[in-house]
Each structure stands twice: as structure tokens, then as C-alpha cells.
Structure 1
Amino acid sequence: MPYSQCKVCDLIYRNPANFMDAANEKAHYEHHQNGPEFPGYLHYLSKIIEPITSYFTPQAAALDYGCGPGPALDFLLKDYGVACDNYDPFFFKDGITKRSYDFIFATECFEHFHHPEDELRKMMDLLKKGGLLCIMTVFHHGIDVMDKWYYAKDLTHVAFYSHHTIKWISDYFSIDVLYQDKKSICIFQKN
């Protein structure tokens, strides 16, 4: 079976034997059209910003965790006066310049995490108390539909989350769910 499902947290995980190697994974990302020069992508990303604009302050520091080759959140956050660092293990390895951040955005990258708990721990260590972790990843609807689901057809997508997974993350890391939609967005606040 190409997928496993955790009975505790409801995470669906691609079998590691089916993971793409790092060189092919990077090459795949280089073809994404998700930089600031793509208006459709900017509009899509603005959905993660809209619920939290009241939290922005001129001195706020943000991190785009898993920004890809063309960081777009940095571009969008400038309109709000928020400085944003860009980190990506393939394209911006040295992008983390601060010890802590008011906002960490992880948009369209949670599904790429080979070790989700490790990545969440890194983000929690970088997030200030009271800070917001803003994630965007399409929530799954069960293991039975994985073979037909467009989101699972991308072989770089290896981890799939549900609303139950979000609740589990909230409990496990002692972070509050501040906002969650039905499809793909969740905003946590660190206690």
C-alpha cells in the first residue's frame, strides 16, 4: 500500500520507499509558478494573510518557512510593513536570521515534510510566545480517496493532514487554533 494512516493523529503518510530523491524533488519545485510574478498565486496566498491582518505591527518579524524558489509572501507582507525572512531547505538554507519570529508562515509546504514532527518542533522553537503559526495545506478526506485525489498525485506531497490532525497538533504542542477554514488554512497561536 502506498500510504499509511496514523490511528492517533489521522496523518496520512506516503510510504518512504515512494519518496522522490532530493535532486528530482528540487527540480520539480523549480518548475512551480509560485513567485511574486504570478498574480494568481499572490491572490491564493492572500487567503492566509486576510485572517491575521489585525495582528500585524510595524516591528513584526515573519518567516516564510518553505518559501520555495520564488518567495511570494515576502512580497505580500511588505504592503503591511512586516519584514519577512525566507527559508527553504533547497533554495534559502541560510534564510533564518533571527532567534524568534512573531509570524511563521508555512504555505504549501506541510505536505512536503518527510518528518512533520521535527519540522513543527523547529517552527515552535522559532516562534515567539503569542506568535502565530500560519499553515496552508489541503486537508485530506480519508485514505480511501487518496488514489483519486489531485493533491496526492504530486509525488513530492508525502504528508496529508485532516481537521483531526490539526486538533492533535494543537494538543500535542500546546498551541491554540485561532482560525481554521474547511479546506486548507489553519492559524495557531503559541501559548
Structure 2
Amino acid sequence: MDAKKEKAHYEHHHNGPEHPGYLQYLSKIIEPVTAFLFPQSTALDYGCGPGPALDFLLKDYGVTCDNYDPFFFKDGIARKSYDFIFATECFEHFHHPEKEVRKMLDLLKIGGLLCIMTVFHQGIDTMEKWYYAKDLTHVAFYSHQTMKWISHHYHIDILYQDQKSICVFQKN
């Protein structure tokens, strides 16, 4: 899919702060890190899409959140480092995951948290029927093993991982 069609696809998503169902869904990425959220900390919503909602949710914690998206907020990276980087429902869209992960880790402070939300696949033999793989904008897929590999390869610790879609790393 070319970039113009990909952007048009994202413009039809209902994932802004005006959609309560999406806010509830997105709050799942905040729950495992609430103990680390403190006023005056900084966050980056990496791949926020056209209607950034994480910014809206983090205000309740006194966290300042910048919004970055290659289609909608290209100039959203306002700082040289962040306490938190949230990458919700965007890892599966990365054509060059290595480049994107390195960019995020370069922006993350030592001790900072990289919070990822992407549906984990359950094995190569399930890919053909898996709804997530049928979305043409999804070009990369991850599993629990992939998260372990990322942890080892980038020397970052896994602080939390659920069974479906969330992994939180801490930069050493």
C-alpha cells in the first residue's frame, strides 16, 4: 500500500479523545505503568495517529505528552529525551522496525519506559486466519518471543508483559 492510501486508511479510524471506547481501550497501556507516572514527567506518543488520545489520558497524571506520527504530527518530537515513550498500535505498521526502535530508544532517558501495545501473534501456523494479519497496513508482527529478543538485543529490561498485546521495557 502506498503512503497516500495508508494515510487515507488511518483517517477513517475512530481513535481520538472524543471516542470513549477507544480511550478505555488505550488506558490498558497506562495501567501497568501508573506507579511510574508522576507530575512533570514527559511522554511521547509515538505513532499517535490523527487524533492523539494518549495526551488526553496522561493529563490526569500531570504528564506532559508530545505527539508524533509520520503522517499527522511529523514535527511532534519536541524534546531530546522522554521519561516515557508509548507506541500503541503502531509497531505493526513499521516498515523498518530496527530504525524505529533505535529512534525511540535514542529519545528515551536512562531508566525511562518504552510502552508497546500490539497484538501478539500465536505462531506462524495461525497467521493465515488471523484478523490482525489481514490488515494491509500491518507489515510486521510480534510475539512474546519477539519481545524477549528485543529485550536482549537492545539491552532493555522487560518490566511487564501481558498475554495479549502489552509489553513495557525499561532502558538501562
Q: TM-score, normalised by structure 2?
A: 0.99
1:113 Cα offset (Å): 0.2
Alignment match of 2:31 (pick from 50, 62, 72): 50
Please state if 1:33 is matched with 2:36: no
Match of 1:187 among 146, 168, 172: 168
Amino acid at match of 1:120: V
Q: Which moved more, 1:166-175 or 1:146-155?
A: 146-155
Q: What number of residue pairs does the alignment pair up?
A: 172
The residue identity in structure 2 corresponding to 1:93 is K
Pairing partner for 1:115 from 87, 93, 96: 96
Q: Distance in 2 between matches of 1:158 and 1:112?
A: 6
Matches of residues 137-148 of structure 1 in structure 2 within 5 Å? Answer: 137-148=118-129
Equivalent in the alignment of 1:170: 151
Is it true that 1:59 corresponds to 2:40 in the alignment?
yes
| Cα displacement (A) at 1:82 | 0.3
**CA deviations over 1:120-139 (Å, ceiling 9, x no partner):** 00000000000000000000
Percent of matched pairs sharing the same residue: 81
Distance in 1 separating the partners of 2:64 and 2:76: 13
Q: Within 2, Cα distance between the matches of 1:72 and 1:82?
A: 13
Question: Where does residue 16 of structure 1 map in the other structure?
Answer: none
Aligned to 1:73: 54
C-alpha distance in structure 2 between counterparts of 1:175 and 1:146, whole Å:
28
User: Any unmatched runs of 5+ in structure 2?
Assistant: none
1:32 deviation in Å?
Answer: 0.4
* Counterpart among 133, 150, 153 of residue 152 in structure 1: 133
What does the per-residue CA deviation read over 1:24-82, in whole Å, with 9 as the maximum and x for residues that have no partner? 00000000010001101000010110111111121100000000000000000001100
Determine which of 73, 85, 96 is the counterpart of 1:104. 85
Runs of 4+ aligned structure 1 residues displaced above 4 Å come to none
Alpha-carbon offset, residue 157 of structure 1 = 0.4
Q: Alignment partner of 1:41: what SS?
A: helix
Q: Over aligned residue pairs, what C-alpha RMSD do you find? A: 0.5
The 3-state SS of whatever aligns with 2:148 is: helix
SS in 2 for 1:159: coil
Q: Quote the residue 2:4 is aligned against.
A: 23
Letter in 2 for 1:41: Y
* Structure 1 gaps, min length 5: 1-19
Give the Cα separation in 1 of the matches to 2:135 and 2:18.
Answer: 23
